[in-house]
Structure 1
Amino acid sequence: MIDLTGKVAVITGGGKGIGESVSQILSKQGAVVHILEIDKESGNRVAEDINAQSRKAFFHYCDLTKHDAVGIIFQEIFKVSGHIDILVNNAGIAHIGNVEATSPEDMDRLYNVNIKSVYSCLHFGVPLMKKSGGGAIVNMASVASLVGLADRFAYSMTKGAIYSLTFSIAKDYINDNIRCNAVGPGRVHTPFVDNYISQNYPGQEAETFEKLSKTQPIGRMGKPTEIANLIAYLCSDEAAFITGSYYSIDGGFLTLNT
């Protein structure tokens, strides 16, 4: 049912993990995808793969912590496309540690990537969406937006901010035909998870993976495509009545862990 033909979509962090799946699935539904990614190799790889399948994608190297650089890229996309219809604020980094183990440098890094970059994309993207006649924004929150997770002090802080700013954008621009929602994944099986396990639990990879999988009541980690499918729906006209909402996609983590 989902048809994004003719839509222009901007996806941050669209070259890896969940972002890669978002890029692929939105393009499959007909959107012209613009991938903003700091990793040149992965960004180019995903864009080339999409184009090789007779779909359309563009890679833009972007350090999302550089406010003015973000603005230049958004203006370039708008100039070429004539409109921006979809913005998926997916890019983010993780951090492990409680408040004592979190340095000022850690806090600045998490803020710059996970919060300020979203602000920059919204700051430049929203006016262009207004010129386009409206659009759909999806922000990547987390179960950490709503519940306490051990040793995730700085990360949880940033995801709490994403949760709340989603409602502000939805409220402020509802009359401009701009919808804004957030999704809150639980643990999703991406290369980041595999790297984390191998670095922190050498020799215990299989049992650690099983333990982490079972923190979701459904008994497994999510798949990047499952998150991306929800995002695609929220970006589509089929979701035209949905704004200012947060969607848990966590295998029952928030509601079934008792």
Structure 2
Amino acid sequence: MKSFVVTGAGKGIGRAIATRLAADESHQVLAVDIDAALLAWTKSDPSARIMPFVGNISDDAVAVAAAEAAARMAPLAGWVNNAAIFEDLSVHSADTRRIMAAIDTNLRSAVAGCRAAVRAFLAAGTAGAIVNMSSHQGRQAVPGGLPYVCAKTAIEGLTRALAVDYGREGIRVNAVAPGTVSTQRYEDLLAAIGPSRAARLEAEMAEVHPLGRVARAEEVVAAVEFLLSDAASFITGAVLPVDGGRTILAHEPTA
């Protein structure tokens, strides 16, 4: 048996990752989210291999407690840092303190998660895998995305640094960088803006992704699952784009 921690697991990609990992009968999954209501779905999960864990993962004490809770389920084998928020701020309209707070919200949770996972692997004397969720915005800025772009770029640097520092301990650290993904949030946005604007948005998304569409959540999840698995045993320090070629095309909407 193996256990995995998935942060930001209340909805979207995080929930999809937790569900996919728990589909393996040899896996136990700790689904972490700051919002208890968002974890209600775990109670009805048919696998019965997902345990909810409520807390702010950017807090070191919470992250360590999550690692310990997962280890009680089964030896900890993998950790996915998925928790994130997007806040539209600019230097002409927000002060430095607010901008840095927005950057910190996303970066701190990844650092705390990595710290807890690495320390748990070292204490147990076992190998392990960490996957940090980045974004196409880690390579390619989007208008209005300053804090998110900064945080995701830093998370990719964190990924490379940890891969170098702990590779000889058998700890692999990689990142996955999606483009736009058809999550419930994306579908809710399409519904909220009305049919004509939704059609324009979908056409624009098709244009910026060379594959002509946004990703399905399961396509991103498959990449995460692969990087956590033994099939990726000689891959570390990598940032895997799952963006339909968006960063290669490098054509972003203006709004």
Normalization by structure 1: what TM-score? 0.88
User: What's 2:175 paired with?
Assistant: 182
Q: CA deviation at 1:201?
A: 7.0
Q: CA deviation at 1:215?
A: 1.7
User: What's 2:133 paired with?
Assistant: 140
User: What's 1:32 paired with?
Assistant: 28
Give the residue type in structure 2 aligned to 1:41: A
Q: Residue by residue, what CA displacement relative to the aligned partner does 1:5-32 show, whole Å, maximum 9, x if unpaired?
A: x221000011211111101111113321
User: What's 1:41 paired with?
Assistant: 37
Q: CA deviation at 1:105?
A: 5.5
Residues in 1 aligned to 2:190 and 2:145: alpha-carbon distance in whole angstroms: 16
Among candidates 83, 86, 91, match of residue 75 of structure 2: 83
Stretch of structure 1 that moved more, 97-106 or 121-130: 97-106
Among candidates 6, 15, 21, match of residue 10 of structure 2: 15
Residues in 2 aligned to 1:102 and 1:171: alpha-carbon distance in whole angstroms: 36
Residues in 1 aligned to 2:66 and 2:169: alpha-carbon distance in whole angstroms: 23
Q: In structure 2, list runs of 5 or more residues that go unmatched.
A: none
Q: Are the counterparts in 2 of residues 83 and 128 from structure 1 also a CA contact under 8 Å? A: no
Q: CA deviation at 1:122?
A: 1.5
| Structure 1 residues 35 and 125: CA distance shift in structure 2, 3 A | same
Give the residue type in structure 2 aligned to 1:39: D
Q: CA deviation at 1:256?
A: 3.2
Q: Residue by residue, what CA displacement relative to the aligned partner does 1:140-197 show, whole Å, maximum 9, x if unpaired?
A: 0111111222221111000000110000110011111100101110111112223445
User: What's 1:93 paired with?
Assistant: 85
How do residues 35-184 of structure 1 correspond to structure 2 at under 5 angstroms? Answer: 35-45=31-41, 47-50=42-45, 52-53=46-47, 55-78=48-71, 80-81=72-73, 83-104=75-96, 106-130=98-122, 131-184=124-177
Among candidates 204, 211, 214, match of residue 211 of structure 1: 204
Residues in 2 aligned to 1:159 and 1:191: alpha-carbon distance in whole angstroms: 22
Give the residue type in structure 2 aligned to 1:43: L
Normalization by structure 2: what TM-score? 0.89
- Report the 3-state secondary structure (helix = DSSP H, G, I; strand = E; otherwise coil) of the residue aligned with 2:4: strand
Residues in 2 aligned to 1:104 and 1:198: alpha-carbon distance in whole angstroms: 34
Paired residues, number: 249
User: What's 1:3 paired with?
Assistant: none
Give the residue type in structure 1 aligned to 2:4: A
Identity, in percent, stands at: 26
Q: CA deviation at 1:112?
A: 3.4
Give the residue type in structure 2 aligned to 1:117: S
RMSD after superposition: 2.1
Q: Are the counterparts in 2 of residues 22 and 228 from structure 1 also a CA contact under 8 Å? A: yes
Q: In structure 1, list runs of 5 or more residues that go unmatched.
A: 1-5
Residues in 2 aligned to 1:225 and 1:172: alpha-carbon distance in whole angstroms: 31
Q: CA deviation at 1:246?
A: 0.9
User: What's 1:231 paired with?
Assistant: 224
Q: CA deviation at 1:128?
A: 0.7
Q: Are the counterparts in 1 of residues 28 and 73 from structure 2 also a CA contact under 8 Å? A: no
